[in-house]
Amino acid sequence: MKKTVLITGAATGLGWSMAERFAAEGYAIAGLDRDGPAVEAAMARLNATGVRTLALAASVSDEAAVEASVARCVAELGGLDVLVNNAGLSCNTPALDLSLTEWRRVIDVNLTGVFLCARAAGRHMVGHGGGGIINMSSMYGVIAAPDRAGYCASKSAVAMLTRVLAIEWAASGVRVNAIAPGYVRTALLDDLIQSGRVDIGALTRRTPLGRMGTPEEVAEMALFLASERSSFITGQVVGVDGGWSAYGYI
């Protein structure tokens, strides 16, 4: 029987790469994104290859929209086996300049959104034989960096939320893990490099493996954590960062 995965932030970047990878493994794909037209187009591309898809336009910080989206996924695709909590925002602002509005926005999406989606999916999974939840943390949820108070706080909280949900839901067969990516060569990073806001040379020198990650490498980890190959792994935050967080030298 084919499985179903719900991926948030599925229209572009890491979310799209994960949607492609899960689709290649035979999963039905429910893509959720706040950009309705973009997620419709993304799911249409997969659907054209014979993959069962569902496009869901919603913000992960909207409780009612999240609940309705999970309900549609279950009803229209026949269930929900895996949730990938990928949607998130960056927040590179010095703490003294960080407004309460910006702080709340990044916490609402990066942390509250993860909780709302996990809770909605968990309510289904706990009563239907289990499942897998993969939350997107960050290497900046494990190590600190300047000018990222909101981002680091939200991503480190995701790591702890992951552990709490894992031990709460383990007896019901629900495994909850997190991925902590480092710098990954997405279109967003390419734009920052081209605009001069990111020094690619400095980043690669700081990374022990000497390069950026690829979206496909993060997608492979998500697929592994969703699969039976990781059946005894839960409550873990797995770094996919080329050794960045292990390397203490700046």
Show me where the domains of the chain are located: 4-183+215-238
Percent of the chain whose predicted confidence (pLDDT) is above 70: 99
What pLDDT score was predicted for residue 224?
Answer: 98
pLDDT of 249 above 80: no
Q: Which of 151, 183, 247, 249 is catalytic?
A: 151
CB neighbours of residue 130 within 10 Å: 15
Long-range contacts of 32-40 (CB under 8 A, 24+ apart): 32/6, 32/7, 32/8, 32/56, 32/57, 32/58, 32/60, 32/69, 32/87, 33/8, 33/9, 33/57, 33/58, 33/87, 34/58, 34/59, 34/60, 34/87, 35/11, 38/11, 38/12, 39/10, 39/11
What pLDDT score was predicted for residue 198?
Answer: 82
pLDDT of 1 above 70: no
pTM for the whole structure? 0.96
Percent of the chain whose predicted confidence (pLDDT) is above 90: 91
pLDDT in tens, 167-206: 999 999 999 999 999 999 988 788 878 888 789 999 999 9
Residue-averaged pLDDT of the chain: 96
The architecture in CATH of the region 4-183+215-238 reads 3-Layer(aba) Sandwich (3.40)
27 is catalytic: no
pLDDT of 81 above 90: yes
pLDDT of 241 above 80: yes
pLDDT of 250 above 70: no
Across 4-9, average pLDDT: 98
CB neighbours of residue 232 within 10 Å: 7
Across 60-77, average pLDDT: 98
Q: What gap in Å lies between CA 230 and CA 242, rounded to an integer?
A: 21
pLDDT in tens, 19-67: 999 999 999 999 999 999 999 999 999 999 999 999 999 999 999 999 9
Strand partners, 56: 32
